[in-house]
Amino acid sequence: MTLTELLNLDMTTLARMARSGFDWWVRELEGLLPKGLVRGRSLTAWHSYEHGAVLAASRAGVDTLVIPHGLCLVRTLTLPRLPPDDLAALIALDADRIMPVPADSIVIGIRTVGPAGEATGGADMVRVQVGALPISRAREIAVAARAAGVSPARIGPLDAAGEQLDFDFAPAMRKAGLLPLRPAAARFWWMVVAALVLLNIGTAVLRDQQQVERLQTLVDAQAPALTAVRRVEDRVIGNARVVQALNARRAAHQPLRLMAMVGGVLPDKAWIQRFEWDGKTLRLSGYGAPGVNVVSALKASGLFASVRASRAEAAAESAGGRPFELVLVPRKEAGT
């Protein structure tokens, strides 16, 4: 049974299915117990027919009457998959063709056996057993039940396993006026149960909504503090970036270290008057003693990728020495 079919069921059908499931569960539990502890449910004959006897379950609280199979006409049909009520209405409309007797002379019970095979319609079709009980027999059973003070909830033949009814003629007998209608108390209690379930669901939804609103209120209350924390975090990140930029700039501009390196490779009789460093290029100007070649000494050190004079013309040598003005490009591996 699909979810759609289950949602389309009425409360009476659901109650019948629930009771059948409960009976199966009780039987399973009884099967786990020692036989000496379980009192079996016996069926006793209480109304005889020429074809057999009507049986009543002797266990208290079970209002089921079992009639012999010989009283019933049975046919198996392949019909479209429909909700139980629609399926019953379809069979009732076509009862004259299904059964060899007039429709007004019988009461009908149905049971869905299972899905039809691929050869007979596939998943959209189901196999349905239709049982018919002559209305005269049904009236006799109803009269005997009233005389015995019994108001059976279910009437029909047992299945092959002898555990449940093949068909239930009680709804059709009630519709025909042969049995009294079921008291409205059962329907009332089912409605109460459904209302309580809906109330529980509504309460759960309301509590969840209240918790969400409470959580939202807490979040809103913490919003100013969260904003302040985010501002502090942004400020810290900004300061870290500034520090990182300063460190990078300091790593690229190390004039003191570069001055020490240049001073270490200059000839003894050479003096620096001007030292200019822009991070990439070093400009030196000064004097060297006569005969001192500053350019050669700097090139020989291997610390500079390029050493060249910044003046195209040669400077005149004086008594104090030969002036020089050089442009140097330090090597990266020199550690600048």
Domain 255-334 is of which CATH architecture? 2-Layer Sandwich (3.30)
Is the CB of residue 104 less than 8 Å from the CB of residue 112?
A: no
C-alpha dist (Å) from residue 87 to 100, 254, 266: 20, 96, 112
Average pLDDT over residues 207-218: 90
Length reported for the chain: 336
At the topology level, CATH places domain 3-182 in Nucleotidyltransferase; domain 5 (3.30.420)
Is the CB of residue 131 less than 8 Å from the CB of residue 70?
A: no
Segment 100-130, tens digit of pLDDT: 888 889 999 988 887 877 666 667 788 888 9
Which two structure tokens, joined as six digits, stand for 167? Answer: 């068909």
pLDDT score at 12: 62
Q: Collapsing DSSP states into helix, strand and coil, what is residue 136?
A: helix
Residue 232's pLDDT band, with cuts at 50, 70 and 90, is very high
Q: Pick 226 or 49 by higher pLDDT.
A: 226
Average pLDDT over residues 171-180: 88
pLDDT score at 295: 87
Is the CB of residue 119 less than 8 Å from the CB of residue 127?
A: no
Every domain of the chain and the residues it spans = 3-182, 193-246, 255-334
Q: How many CB atoms lie under 10 A from the CB of residue 88?
A: 19
Average pLDDT over residues 205-222: 89
Q: What does pLDDT average to over the chain?
A: 78
